[in-house]
Amino acid sequence: MNKVKAPSERSLIEQFLDDNVLFLGPDPEIMNDHSVSIPNEKELAAVEAWKDRADEIHLIRNRLQTACNESFDMVEQMGAAPGAKWGDLVSCIFSCQGDLSLASAGGMLLFSVLAQHPQKFILKYWKDDPTVGVREGDIFMHNDARYGNIHNSDQSLSIPVFHDGEIVCIVGTIVHEGENGACEPGGMPGGAESRYDEGLKMSPLKVGENFEFRKDLLTFLQNSVREPKLQLEGMKSKLHACVRIKKRVEEIIRDYGVDAFLATVRGTLTDTEAEVRRRLRTWPDGKVKTNVFGDSTLRENVLFKIRCEVIKRDDELIVDLRGSTPAFLNRANNTVLASMKGMLAQLFLMFVWPDLPRNQAVFAPISLLTDPGSALNCPPEAPNAQSMMTFFPAFTAVQSAVPKLLFAAGFRSTDIISCWYNMITTFVYGGVNQHQEFVGNVCADLNGMGGAARATRDGEHAVAPIFSSMADIGEQELIEEEVPMMKLVPHKIMIDNCGFGKYRGGQGYQQIATHKDTQSWGYMVNTLGAKFPTAYGIFGGYAPGCYPLCKVKGVNVFDVMKDNRELMRFTIEDIMNEQPFPGATYSTHHAGLQFELAEQGELYMITQGGGGGYGDVLERDPADIVKDWGDGNISKRTIEKIYHVIMDYGTGAIDQEGTDQARAAERRARLARARPFKEFAAEWTRAKPPQNLPYYGSWDDPTVLHLGSPDKTCPADAIEPVIMPDPKDVEITALRAELSALKGEA
Amino acid sequence: MSENNAMTELRGVTFDGEKLAITEYLSIDLDKETWHCRRCDQNLGNARGPYKEALVVYEREPSDIHDPVIDPEKYAFTYSPDPEWCRIIEYYCPRCATQIEVEYLPPGHPLTVDDLVLDIDSLKARHAGDPS
């Protein structure tokens, strides 16, 4: 039996343990808590003192918002990383307790709800640590997603703001810097097999004092990545942008006093949470279920499930994701729970309540349930460099659920919307550029995702990424000045590339890339959905289709087209079907390509996805079909076989009577081929996943998870780690078996 | 909640006559506690249960909807879902054949029959007296 310790003895032991922590890893108390901190005495007093001065508070809030926007513009103009230039960043103000209260209006909305963790870590562990401390002029940085943020390609920089010797707020900027010295160039290694393949791992770190970077630490950081110039430029631009927000904060304190500032920052959080709860109360109480499936780890095709229940009760929302796929311990497609919360939060910021301030209180009334050890709440040792590959499908699971509660809500500040396309379809590149520098980063084409259809109109083509309302795809000519890549076809809309419906999703573009004049160049692609669509329609609308990677290898198109320009084709469809380059190899693949060196003039081709459709295709206005036909965005097959519209393809005139008859015939055909639910379900439903499917996650029972086969399972509350074999070993084994069989035959 | 506030909270709600619109194609008769098709008014069963059980269902070959963009004779991946991995389940109103829902599922995966379950008592309390 353990001896009960006397109070004095306990205190001594606890003091010893407190003083001798072996490793300050990510703090679960910080990482698992997305609620807003309880206000301290100064904040409470400030709010009380300013409670009747709403007009002035509103003015101060607008000035702070403008300061964040100004800082955002500075980083966008000064930053060297593609992510900085095209808006993959946020500038923000944290409260004196580290809660994110205000963020820039543009850029990466998901940062608004997951940037607070490193600030809280700094306040909890470094502020009173005699070897670190937090003082005027200190500069802190961080990039490890286990301490906050999405993945290690994002770097945050923050500085504390003092007044009368006390911290009144922290100001910060977070940018997708890209390159970070990981096992593949560009900072998002789909090939990472452990956390130690993910490159730079800054826990919250003091990198400077007196507003100057420490040269030794700066050199260490530069020495850790492939682009030392970019590392320096990124740090400098973020620092200057933070200093500008600090200046604006000090101006406000000078004009209104520190209490007014504290009351505004705290009040913004309190008001936002109260407003979200007020809005949720207008939603009907109930439960919505969805299932979403991902078809790849980026290394191999597997079928994994995201199971989702969204439960609305009074003024709170519960998102239950239990029963989803287990984590893959040697694959990059796992997410830290906090990162996924950020992604889900910006669903509400961008698609449900875009009129609310961008801050973490938006998510405070929403709680999450996950299985520890699942890919949505992964163990610390699991790599998470491609966390997007599970939290994007989780986003879609919630996005497809919300309309069923929002449609009958009393208050809405947006239209009902279907599912946005949800994959970062772009090229990550690495190699030696035309200036003889080694570079590695991501093309901003990922920002042109197809928009979803809405209850009142079609989705926009190639409009915005799922995580950011305002982000650009960049200017191809400017990009070609920096890297030897060129897009023979940069952004050409692909025909029929959207979810069909009463209102169709926006369409995505195809990209045909190659390179020249470099001694070494390679590509990566990080996208699911070559076998199973990743985004869906709602209320009877269809999903967009699937998106493979296509390659043309063994040819230098610059050579073969030098005197034969007629060989060029301007769509992936024509290149792959007509195979115009003699002697070349044409192939398709799932779109999880690990870094692969390519020869000059070979083609790599991908397609940005379209948005999900809304409503029954038979209700689509034929006039909208005619417009799509005129724009060259729809095929005759789709017009006739999907929409059942009869039109004159030359003049665009609609045969209304013919269309009415065709649609009536299709309705009769539907009833003739369909069966009553129970009869259909009895024949359709299987007790287990099919034998040939490498299936991960629950099937019918959310407490039992399949581990790649119908018969191998584990309890959801005691998940067994999944370790995948190297795809090359799998291929070698299959080839050996084939060889062995052939030898046997011989 | 004051009467004025109550009206504000309900300003986004649509009523089809006496029935509360729940989705693009579904409404609920709160008095009779029944689901209905918003296009033809077909009764789709007890509002406390799953409306899907009253629908008719069809399994679609994915390439019917997502025509292969590139030649399936030449390539493994064609822009069309792999039918070994993915099937499309279409749910129609049994009377007017409006396509009310679509699910993309692996072959044989249980249908999401209870995709929308509302708290009818709470809904009735909220809308007591409506539409005015």
pLDDT exceeds 50 at position B5:
no
| Structure token pair of residue A6 | 């006397």
Torsion of CA A74, A78, A79, A83, to 10 degrees: 60
**Interface contact flag, A588 B82, Cβ < 8 Å:** no
| Structure token pair of residue A222 | 């530069």
CA distances, A480 to each of A64, A484, A551, A561 (Å) = 37, 6, 21, 20
CA B36 to chain centre: 11
DSSP state of A5: P
Task: List the single range of A34-43, A99-108, A237-246 with lowest mean pLDDT.
Answer: A99-108
High-pLDDT (> 90) share of chain A, %: 89
Torsion of CA A196, A198, A201, A203, to 10 degrees: -100
Q: How far apart are alpha carbons A511 and B112 in whole angstroms?
A: 36
| pLDDT tens per residue across span A303-340 | 999 999 999 999 999 999 999 999 999 999 999 999 99
Are the C-beta atoms of A337 and A350 separated by less than 8 Å? no
**Interface contact flag, B25 A616, Cβ < 8 Å:** yes
Of A408, A617, A692, the CB nearest to B13: A408
DSSP A414-483: S--B-PPP----S-EEEEE-TTS-EEEEE-GGGG-PPPPPBSSSPPPTT---TTBSS-----HHHHHHHS
Q: How far apart are alpha carbons B87 and A355 in whole angstroms?
A: 38
Are the C-beta atoms of A259 and A266 separated by less than 8 Å? no
Q: How far apart are alpha carbons A256 and A263 in whole angstroms?
A: 11
pLDDT score for A474: 81
pLDDT-based confidence at residue A468 (cuts at 50, 70, 90): confident
pTM: 0.95
B25 in A contact zone (CB under 8 Å): yes
pLDDT score for A8: 67
Torsion of CA A341, A345, A351, A355, to 10 degrees: -170
Question: Domain residues of chain A, as ranges?
Answer: 54-252, 418-553+586-620
User: Which chain A positions have a beta carbon within 8 Å of B10's beta carbon?
Assistant: 282, 410
pLDDT score for B130: 60
Q: How far apart are alpha carbons A351 and A452 in whole angstroms?
A: 10
Name the minimum distance, in Å, from the CA of B98 to any CA of chain A: 7
DSSP A293-346: EE---SSS--EEEEEEEEEEETTEEEEE-TTPPBPBTTSS----HHHHHHHHHH
Report, as an integer, the average pLDDT of B31-51. Answer: 98
pLDDT exceeds 90 at position B8:
no
pLDDT score for B11: 67
| pLDDT tens per residue across span A346-358 | 899 999 999 999 9
Q: How far apart are alpha carbons A295 and B77 in whole angstroms?
A: 13
| pLDDT tens per residue across span A175-228 | 999 999 999 998 999 999 999 999 999 999 999 999 999 999 999 999 999 999
CA A377 to chain centre: 16
Q: How far apart are alpha carbons A491 and A512 in whole angstroms?
A: 9
Q: How far apart are alpha carbons A312 and A367 in whole angstroms?
A: 11
Name the minimum distance, in Å, from the CA of B102 to any CA of chain A: 5
How many CB contacts within 8 angstroms connect chain A with chain B?
Answer: 248
Of A289, A541, A590, the CB nearest to B115: A289
Name the minimum distance, in Å, from the CA of A495 to any CA of chain B: 9
pLDDT score for A1: 44
CA distances, A472 to each of A84, A106, A176, A370 (Å) = 10, 11, 14, 34
Which backbone phi and psi does A227 adopt, to 5 degrees?
Answer: -125, 80
Name the minimum distance, in Å, from the CA of B70 to any CA of chain A: 6
Question: Domain residues of chain B, as ranges?
Answer: 3-126
pLDDT exceeds 50 at position B1:
no
pLDDT score for A5: 57
Which backbone phi and psi does A659 adopt, to 5 degrees?
Answer: -65, -45
Question: Average model confidence (pLDDT) for chain A?
Answer: 95
**Interface contact flag, B119 A285, Cβ < 8 Å:** yes
Report, as an integer, the average pLDDT of A587-614. Answer: 97
Residues A531-558: b if buried by 16+ CB within 10 A, e if exposed = bbbbbbbbbbbbbbbbbbbbbbeebbbe
| Structure token pair of residue B4 | 């004025």
Report, as an integer, the average pLDDT of A439-466. Answer: 92
pLDDT exceeds 50 at position B4:
no
Interface of B with A in 88-107 (CB under 8 A): 88-92, 94, 96-107
pLDDT score for A546: 98
Report, as an integer, the average pLDDT of A221-242. Answer: 96
User: Which chain B positions have a beta carbon within 8 Å of A589's beta carbon?
Assistant: 76-77
pLDDT score for A7: 58
User: Which chain A positions have a beta carbon within 8 Å of B86's beta carbon?
Assistant: 293, 531-533
Are the C-beta atoms of B97 and A671 separated by less than 8 Å? yes
pLDDT score for B3: 40
Cis peptide before B131 (omega within 30 of 0): yes
Q: How far apart are alpha carbons A199 and A452 in whole angstroms?
A: 35
Q: What's the alpha-carbon Rg for chain A, to the nearest Å?
A: 27
β-pairing, A585-589 vs A704-707, is unpaired
Rounded to the nearest 10 degrees, the angle between the axes of helix A41-49 and helix A258-281 is: 90
Q: How far apart are alpha carbons A266 and A51 in whole angstroms?
A: 12
User: Which chain A positions have a beta carbon within 8 Å of B111's beta carbon?
Assistant: 677, 680-681, 684-685
A697 in B contact zone (CB under 8 Å): no
pLDDT exceeds 50 at position B7:
no
Residue of B nearest to A575 (CA): B70
Task: List the single range of A13-22, A58-67, A498-507 with lowest mean pLDDT.
Answer: A13-22
Residue of B nearest to A667 (CA): B97
Torsion of CA A103, A339, A508, B103, to 10 degrees: -130
